[in-house]
Amino acid sequence: MVAPTGDQPNISFPGTLASSAFAACFAEVCTIPLDTAKVRLQLQKKAIGDAVALPKYKGMLGTVATIGREEGLAALWKGIVPGLHRQCLFGGLRIGLYDPVKTLYVGKDHVGDVPLSKKILAGLTTGALGIMIANPTDLVKVRLQAEGKLESGVPRRYSGALNAYSTIVKQEGLRALWTGLGPNIARNAIINAAELASYDQVKQTILRIPGFTDNVVTHLLSGLGAGFVAVCIGSPVDVVKSRMMGDSSAYKSTLDCFIKTLKNDGPLAFYKGFIPNFGRLGSWNVIMFLTLEQAKKVVRNLESS
């Protein structure tokens, strides 16, 4: 994936983790408005029975505009604090551990290209491990993003990220911070494998084409490919994860959430917010991988000087 090419030396493991966490956090800051729009679209449900209700949010840009108009531009960055908590932990671990785990699976003496199956397995492993640690940050981020404009006199559930952590523990118990862990592991393991393995594979393929080198254009094309594959594969579990985290009392389990979503909203509900999701993940991957490649160059130069 992001392993150095040619004669470039490897950087240290702490350097890899630091570069990964920085790149993930930078991408998060740039793209979280699209993520907020995605969450609102995913949590929006159809009217049941004879009820007639027009959807409040329509499309990525429409949702962004509605949130900005009704709640202010700052609302588009709701959840940025736990989002950065999440990326420091999850982003650093899932991306930083990918190359070491991939090497573990193929063996340190492996020569030649790593098989795609091993890349996918490494992505599944680091995605699952990372989110098991970072799930509370993901939960708080979704809860904060899910809050829309409240009626006058109705207090918000949480005043901020730290208040959300403590309130959830007090009202729902410590285990509640791991609400939705099942679909979250599924979602993040699958999307992580799709992102990292596809970036790895696309980059490897592009570099075989005459005229292409390990530069910004290659990183840009690889990042776009990784984002598209990740959204196509991960959107259904992403919808289930967002609904369970947004309103855990409405569902008994992951399977119950899946069945109710399918029954009440139809199969297309699992691709609700697909365009903002691709806008989010596509741009996120491009920004993250471009930043990561540059950050690793800086760390490599620092460590070799």
115, 155 in Cβ contact below 8 A? Answer: no
Mean pLDDT rounded to a whole number for the chain:
85
* Neighbouring C-alpha atoms within 13 Å toward the C-beta of 110: 13
- Enumerate domains of the chain plus CATH numbers: 13-304 (1.50.40.10)
Backbone angles phi and psi of 67, in degrees to 5: -65, -45
Residue bearing the bigger pLDDT, 249 or 215 = 215
Q: At residue 104, what is the residue type? A: L
Q: What is the reported pTM? A: 0.76
105, 73 in Cβ contact below 8 A? Answer: no
Q: How far is CA 138 from the centre of its chain?
A: 9
Lowest mean pLDDT among 4-8, 86-90, 282-286: 4-8
**Residue in 97, 173, 92, 102 with CA at minimum distance from that of residue 139:** 173
pLDDT at 182: 86
pLDDT in tens, 70-107: 888 888 888 788 889 889 999 999 999 999 999 999 99
pLDDT in tens, 97-107: 999 999 999 99
Q: How many CB atoms lie within 10 A of CB 101?
A: 19
* Neighbouring C-alpha atoms within 13 Å toward the C-beta of 291: 21
96, 2 in Cβ contact below 8 A? Answer: no
